[in-house]
Amino acid sequence: MSILKALWPLRTAEAPAAEEPPPPAAVRAADVSQGPFRALVESLPDPVLVIEGDPDEPASRRIVFANAAARDLLPGRLEGMRLVTALRNPELLEAVDEALLGAPGSAQMEAGGAQERIWAVQTRPLGQGNFGRLALLTLRDETDVRRAERMRVDFLANASHELRTPLASLSGFIETLRGHAKDDEQARETFLGIMQAQAERMRRLIDDLMSLSRIELNEHIAPEGRLDLALAVTDVLDALVPLVREKNLCVSTQMPARGAADIDGDRDQILQVIQNLVENAVKYSGNEGALSITVSAPVADDSTTPALDPAATRITLLAPDRPAGRRFALLRVTDQGPGIPRDRLPRLTERFYRVEGQKSGGTRPGTGLGLAIVKHIVNRHRGGMAVESAEGRGASFSVWLPLAEKEAT
């Protein structure tokens, strides 16, 4: 038995004359209600529709079968409904025309609503039905694929742009040094200093890009190792003393007892998280500002904690994966720098995103990748991340990571 006969067992047995007008929707729906293959098509995850109609008569096209996924997607009682009532996309209707005329067709359909989705449409001829030709119409949700594609293209464009800027500067200075500044010793020294800084910037960008791609590659693999978050913070702070001194910053710390903030994690990655957050706090602080760095444990999921400063806005940049009952170690890095405008807060972890007009204070301009790296690492560790800030009043970044199993209560 053909699949078609299985889907339309009653109608193929008693085919009426071709000129007969289509029966009412209820009769058609009943006709296709049984058959061994029906359950199979019905349960396919992608929407499947069968259209019947006269290729020369666009208004005659009706839906004679719609599986469960199609019924979820399109409102109303589909079987028996005119195709143009259910789907108005001109490209899709053209693809159905092609199939009714005997050739496969394809189209792309964007369905609006709160969440825009992109559907790849395929049509295939299914031969002659009782009241006209039949066409199969399948829809596949390609939103995620297209989104990933767009992100990849944007990412490459951004990365190339970021690398091209220091490169253009290097080329410019090389030209100058070979030309009119050739014999000017003072200019040579100045230009070589700038060139070194630009080369350093390129190196940092490449390091961050490599780091991000390595983290993304392993993001679904649980990290191995155990470390005390408080000790890790102390190690990072020790290494950053020269940077802190340079700006004459006052750093206050608050740490729990040794072992209280033990977490399961990849030590290098956790050090990277701490380093990025503390470096940002230093970078964006004015000279002689104050930083506060605290580790607390055990704490509950911090997603719902209100802002500590009533004038500030707090948003969750990453919610922890399984918060129910889990206990966490919380790291909070607070500065008194320029802060971040409220409407910019949600974008902070986007790659290459920088708040316009913000000065990072001197010799280490940012790559715009630091917080994206932090978010991916914290996600791999099934932790959470939040920021709290008010423009002109500083910023406070929190990261909380699940405590090692032995510490869980």
Does the protein bind ligand ADP through residue 215 (CB under 6 A)? no
With CA atoms as reference, report the closest residue to 266 among 396, 383, 371, 368. Answer: 383
E strand or H helix that includes residue 50? strand 48-53
Does the protein bind ligand ADP through residue 155 (CB under 6 A)? no
Contact 230, 295 (CB under 8 A): yes
Helices and strands, counts by H and E, the chain: 13, 13
Does the protein bind ligand ADP through residue 52 (CB under 6 A)? no
How far apart (Å, rounded) are the C-alpha atoms in residues 12 and 6?
Answer: 9
Closest chain position to ligand ADP (CB): 366
Beta carbons within 8 Å of 248's beta carbon, 6+ residues apart: 287, 288
Cβ-in-10-Å burial (0-12, 13-18, 19+) of 150 comes to exposed
Contact 279, 240 (CB under 8 A): yes
Segments in 179-266 forming alpha helices (H): 185-218, 229-239, 241-246
What torsion do the CA atoms of 226, 229, 232, 234 make, to the nearest 10 degrees?
Answer: -150
Does the protein bind ligand ADP through residue 353 (CB under 6 A)? yes
The CB-of-367 to ligand ADP minimum distance in angstroms stands at 5
What torsion do the CA atoms of 218, 223, 225, 230 make, to the nearest 10 degrees?
Answer: 110
Stretch that binds ligand ADP, among 192-200, 264-272, 332-340, 398-406 (CB under 6 A): 332-340
Does the protein bind ligand ADP through residue 337 (CB under 6 A)? yes
Stretch that binds ligand ADP, among 101-109, 124-132, 308-316, 370-378 (CB under 6 A): 370-378
The CB-of-211 to ligand ADP minimum distance in angstroms stands at 12
Q: Which of 335, 388, 399, 402 binds ligand ADP (CB under 6 A)?
A: 335
Stretch that binds ligand ADP, among 242-250, 293-301, 311-319, 331-339 (CB under 6 A): 331-339
- Count Cα atoms within 13 angstroms, Cβ side, for 2: 8
Beta carbons within 8 Å of 90's beta carbon, 6+ residues apart: none
How far apart (Å, rounded) are the C-alpha atoms in residues 366 and 360?
Answer: 7
The CB-of-161 to ligand ADP minimum distance in angstroms stands at 14
Q: Which of 50, 293, 371, 390 binds ligand ADP (CB under 6 A)?
A: 371
Does the protein bind ligand ADP through residue 315 (CB under 6 A)? no
The CB-of-285 to ligand ADP minimum distance in angstroms stands at 8
Q: Which of 12, 292, 303, 358 binds ligand ADP (CB under 6 A)?
A: 358
Q: Which of 47, 125, 129, 366 binds ligand ADP (CB under 6 A)?
A: 366
Q: Of the two residues 303 and 360, which places its CB atom closer to ligand ADP in the complex? A: 360
Does the protein bind ligand ADP through residue 399 (CB under 6 A)? no
Does the protein bind ligand ADP through residue 379 (CB under 6 A)? no
Does the protein bind ligand ADP through residue 354 (CB under 6 A)? yes
Size of the site for ligand ADP (CB under 6 A): 21
Q: Of the two residues 130 and 280, which places its CB atom closer to ligand ADP in the complex? A: 280
Q: Of the two residues 276 and 379, which places its CB atom closer to ligand ADP in the complex? A: 276
The CB-of-192 to ligand ADP minimum distance in angstroms stands at 25
With CA atoms as reference, report the closest residue to 142 among 156, 121, 158. Answer: 121
Backbone phi, then psi, for 287, in 5-degree steps?
Answer: -60, 145
Beta carbons within 8 Å of 302's beta carbon, 6+ residues apart: 328, 330, 384, 386, 398, 400
Q: Of the two residues 123 and 367, which places its CB atom closer to ligand ADP in the complex? A: 367
E strand or H helix that includes residue 313? strand 313-318
With CA atoms as reference, report the closest residue to 18 among 49, 50, 57. Answer: 57
Restricted to residues 263-292, the positions that interact with ligand ADP (CB under 6 A) are 276, 280-281, 284
Q: Of the two residues 123 and 334, which places its CB atom closer to ligand ADP in the complex? A: 334
Does the protein bind ligand ADP through residue 247 (CB under 6 A)? no
Sites of contact with ligand ADP (CB under 6 A): 276, 280-281, 284, 335, 337-338, 340, 348, 353-355, 358, 366-372, 395
